[in-house]
Amino acid sequence: MDFDRVLEKCGNFGRFQFVILILYGYTNILSSLHYFSQTLITFTPEHWCSHDDLMGLGAAELRSIYSNVSHSSCTLLSEVINGTGVASEESCQDWIFERENGYESLTTELKWVCDKSHQPAVGQSFFFLGSVVGTISFGFLSDHIGRLPAMLMATLSGATGDFITSFVHTLPWFAFSRFVSGLSTDTMYYLMYILVFEYLSPKRRTFGLNIILAVFYCFGLMTSPWIAMWIGNWRRYLWLASLPALGVLIYPLLICESAQWLLTKKKYDKAVACLKKVAKFNGRQVEDSVFDEFVKHYREKMNEESKLNKQMDTFLGMFKTPRLRRFTTTLLVKSVIITLSYDVINRNMEGLGSSPFKLFSLTSSVYLPAGFTILLLQNKIGRKGMACGALLVGAIITAATGFLIAVLDPKENAILLALMVGLGRFGSTVSYDAEIQYAAEIIPTSVRGQAVSNIHVIGLASSSLAFYVIYLAQYYKPLPSIFISVLMFLGALLCLTLPETLHQKLPETLADGERFAMNESCLYFPCLHKRRESLTEHEDRKSEP
């Protein structure tokens, strides 16, 4: 009587799961507002050095005056003669900004442009440094104090960082506040993901996890740029983005701790209490004998492991055996590839001939079809096929986008470039979302929280390189796209070395993980395997007399 069988009796897709999925959706809205707040508050509009003769002129007139001046955004004019600017050797102290609907960003208010243009990037670096520290810390806590309290602490720390950021005026305080904000990056999302994952029917996981992610995360991304423009100020936007995080304080009243985590900690009574709460919430009557047999099963399992002198499972234990070591290393490298690709594609919104706010909002709509794509295909072609195919298609789209950026004028081809950006975000989103479920299924339950967090932290650490990859365009415009497309192609090849998890009993301990899919071929795909079986059966029938 293992966990999946008892959960089925308590209800693995009832009212309790509906509530936890709604809370998961709310967490996704918080996550989208938090993760891309850095992008929205630091958008740098087109700007020119201020001059007395330029006051009251429109953007078109300013572009004409500065047309013959190199580095126009940072060059002070000595005078304007016949509508043409004459460059001065003096440094620029004030600027004229072409604000989007009057939106005051951090860069326009604090004038962090030209010789101070690196300062927003410094804050971004500290944001990802905080994400590394936070992911390790909260991942460790999730395996020691529980998934639910660690998730609450992570969410509130990120909101605190955003709130502090709204009051800063100097680089040191900005860097510090972004570090605090980064502590919760992705952590609040994946810890809630694990909770939903463990209480949801295996047959409903793809639907529940990916559709809720697509709908709610898409809603947060599409609305946040418009909210920012409506509010008109980056400080007030951060207030709005951070205060809803207080809503997570009601989570413990509605849902309970991970029962599977409680079992790995030998807290059998609390695990049974959680399952009884699920059964009551779902209107199920489950006899006490079922729970007695359930506890007996896990006590015997733990005693057998103790007799064999097995140590408590840890993340480092995944590197002690050959197959788990290969799986773990592959997941770490793949996380770097997918996260870096996702960040570069999603944050590169400027200089493409469109308003970065509108471009970001409209192309965020791809999250919904991306979620449905995973829903429709992942249970048919398998987890490996989904992950490999998404990366391969994403690599092709990204390479094509880079080529178009190189040969087309952004102002004249803004719609086409926006379409290609949207397709690129679609490919990266499918890859990113499919990776989360795939990794969670391969990793044994006993180390799932810490292992998923460590895999995430390696990926998040690579995100600090995103701005350097984007900077490669200074040397050759399509170079960032070429670089990312090559990475995504390598990621697709790496997926072939991982086991298929569709319709498999997932590993609970490191020993289970080492034996998992032992004799499976690297080219095994469930959809192709079923087709071969059906063809074989057809041939057998034809050969019968």
- Decide: 421 and 361 in contact? Cβ < 8 Å: no
Domain residue ranges in the chain: 1-37+113-309, 47-98, 317-544
Percent of the chain with pLDDT over 90: 30
pLDDT at 203: 80
Higher pLDDT: 406 or 393? It is 393
- DSSP string covering 222-265: HHHHHHHHHH-BHHHHHHHHHGGGGGGGGHHHH----HHHHHHT
* Residue 489 to residues 378, 388, 450, Cα–Cα distance (Å): 19, 9, 28
HEC string of 298-313 equals: HHHHHHHHHHCCCCCC
Whether the pLDDT of residue 67 is over 80: the answer is no
Q: Which residues fall within 8 angstroms of residue 5, CB to CB, at 6 or more apart?
A: none
User: What is the average pLDDT score of the chain?
Assistant: 83
* Residues 6-65: tens digit of each pLDDT: 999 999 889 999 999 999 999 999 998 898 888 889 888 888 787 776 776 766 676 666
Tokens 């095994």 sit at which residue? 524
Q: pLDDT confidence of 88, banded at 50, 70, 90?
A: low
pLDDT at 438: 85
Q: Do domains 1-37+113-309 and 317-544 have the same CATH topology?
A: yes
Q: pLDDT confidence of 230, banded at 50, 70, 90?
A: very high
Q: Which residues fall within 8 angstroms of residue 534, CB to CB, at 6 or more apart?
A: none
Name which of 173-187, 300-314, 335-349, 355-369 the model is least confident about.
300-314
* Residues 418-435: tens digit of each pLDDT: 898 898 899 888 888 788
Rounded Cα gap, residues 377 and 372, in angstroms = 8
* Residues 294-328: tens digit of each pLDDT: 999 888 877 776 665 455 677 788 888 888 889 88
Among the four given CATH numbers 1.20.1250.20, 3.40.50.720, 1.10.10.10, 1.20.140.150, the one describing domain 317-544: 1.20.1250.20
Higher pLDDT: 372 or 391? It is 391
For 42, phi and psi rounded to 5 degrees? -115, 15
pLDDT at 417: 86
pLDDT at 143: 80
- Decide: 29 and 219 in contact? Cβ < 8 Å: yes
Q: How many CB atoms lie within 10 A of CB 541?
A: 8
For 335, phi and psi rounded to 5 degrees? -65, -40
Closest to 35 in 3D by CA, of 166, 110, 117, 130: 130
Whether the pLDDT of residue 70 is over 60: the answer is no
* Residues 129-144: tens digit of each pLDDT: 888 888 788 878 888 8
pLDDT at 212: 86
* Residues 349-362: tens digit of each pLDDT: 776 778 888 888 99
What are the tokens at 450? 């810490």
pLDDT at 489: 93
pLDDT at 448: 79
Name which of 147-151, 177-181, 527-531 the model is least confident about.
527-531
Whole-model pTM? Answer: 0.77
* Residue 424 to residues 58, 257, 299, 395, Cα–Cα distance (Å): 34, 37, 50, 9
* Residues 431-471: tens digit of each pLDDT: 887 887 788 888 887 787 778 778 877 887 888 777 778 77
Which stretch, 197-211, 270-284, 453-467, 477-491, has highest mean pLDDT? 270-284
* Residues 153-170: tens digit of each pLDDT: 999 999 999 999 999 999
For 95, phi and psi rounded to 5 degrees? -135, 155
- Decide: 506 and 427 in contact? Cβ < 8 Å: no
* Residue 293 to residues 5, 229, 297, 298, 391, Cα–Cα distance (Å): 11, 58, 6, 9, 44
Tokens 């590197």 sit at which residue? 319
Whether the pLDDT of residue 543 is over 60: the answer is no
CATH homologous superfamily of 1-37+113-309 equals MFS general substrate transporter like domains (1.20.1250.20)
pLDDT at 535: 43
Q: How many CB atoms lie within 10 A of CB 519?
A: 5
Closest to 199 in 3D by CA, of 256, 253, 249: 256
pLDDT at 538: 44
* Residues 231-276: tens digit of each pLDDT: 999 999 999 999 999 999 999 999 999 998 898 888 999 999 999 9
SS3 content of the chain, % helix, strand, coil (to 5): 70, 5, 25
